[in-house]
């Protein structure tokens, strides 16, 4: 494993944003230290490393902090370009397309996710958030077909930027499935995404990072609701 012991991730185990960073580090074969943060009592290291947003993830490289998950991913991909697979395409146009869909995931899927779990005051509002998620996932079904060119992932033969950004939410999707009584990524509605999810979860870089214990995630949700934060 590369990395030289100079990489450290400050995070929360359920955070989609932390998960995607850890997956990319695994894809690159980089050794790193992981430090779990208590969002109700954030460490001095976190507050000093990200004084603007005071949020996770933070990547410390040789003691220097890099913040915001998509920026961290790009940083890792550039600094360790010779280690492991490229996460962003080398072709400028394809890289722009990947960045567009990654932003779409966080804008549409991410906002629906926070709505379903943290912002809804009643079942009607939750149903509206679920509908937004359904619409976004149907759009991503088409994006997967186009971007993959018939290959296994958004990134083609291997996991790329859009895969890790969307894949970071999968642990929470399983918890939401329990809450709403049906699957968000439903083989009947989005068969390509359903097959993609199985492949993504089975990848070596993903196993053990995306949560698979729904009861544990739902229990942690209550902790987050009590402190009013997922940052």
Residues sharing a CB contact under 8 Å with residue 136, sequence separation 6 or more, in sequence order: 104, 105, 108, 109, 112
Within a domain: 87: no
The CATH number linked to 221 is: 1.20.1050.10
pLDDT of 105 = 98
**Are the C-beta atoms of 30 and 7 separated by less than 8 Å?**
yes
pLDDT of 227 = 84
Within a domain: 86: no
The CATH number linked to 28 is: 3.40.30.10
Question: What is the domain extent for residue 66?
Answer: 7-79
Do 137 and 212 lie in one domain? The reply is yes
What does pTM read for this prediction? 0.95
Series of mean pLDDT values for 10-residue runs along the chain (231 residues): 77 98 98 96 98 97 97 98 96 97 97 92 93 97 97 97 98 96 97 98 98 96 82 53
Do 115 and 190 lie in one domain? The reply is yes
pLDDT of 231 = 53
Instruction: Tell me the helices (H) and strands (E) count for the chain, helix number first.
Output: 10, 4
């Amino acid at each position: 494993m590369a990395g030289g012991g100079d990489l450290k991730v400050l995070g929360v185990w359920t955070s989609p944003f932390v998960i995607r960073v850890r997956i990319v580090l695994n894809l690159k074969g980089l050794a790193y230290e992981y430090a779990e943060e208590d969002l109700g009592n954030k460490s001095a290291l976190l507050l000093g490393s990200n004084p603007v947003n005071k949020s996770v993830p933070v990547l410390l490289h040789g003691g220097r902090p890099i913040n915001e998950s998509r920026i961290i991913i790009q940083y890792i991909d550039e600094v360790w370009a010779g280690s492991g697979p490229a996460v962003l395409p080398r072709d400028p146009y394809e890289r722009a397309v990947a960045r567009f869909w990654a932003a779409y995931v966080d804008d549409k899927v991410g906002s629906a996710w926070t709505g379903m779990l943290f912002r809804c005051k009643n079942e009607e509002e939750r149903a509206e958030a679920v509908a937004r998620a359904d619409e976004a996932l149907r759009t991503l079904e088409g994006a997967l077909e186009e971007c993959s060119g018939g290959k296994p992932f958004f990134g083609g033969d291997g996991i790329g930027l859009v895969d890790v950004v969307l894949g970071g939410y999968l642990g929470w999707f399983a918890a939401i499935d329990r809450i709403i009584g049906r699957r968000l990524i439903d083989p009947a509605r989005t068969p390509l995404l359903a097959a993609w999810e199985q492949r993504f979860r089975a990848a070596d870089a993903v196993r053990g990072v995306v949560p698979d214990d729904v009861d544990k995630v739902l229990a942690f949700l209550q902790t987050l609701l009590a402190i009013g934060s997922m940052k």
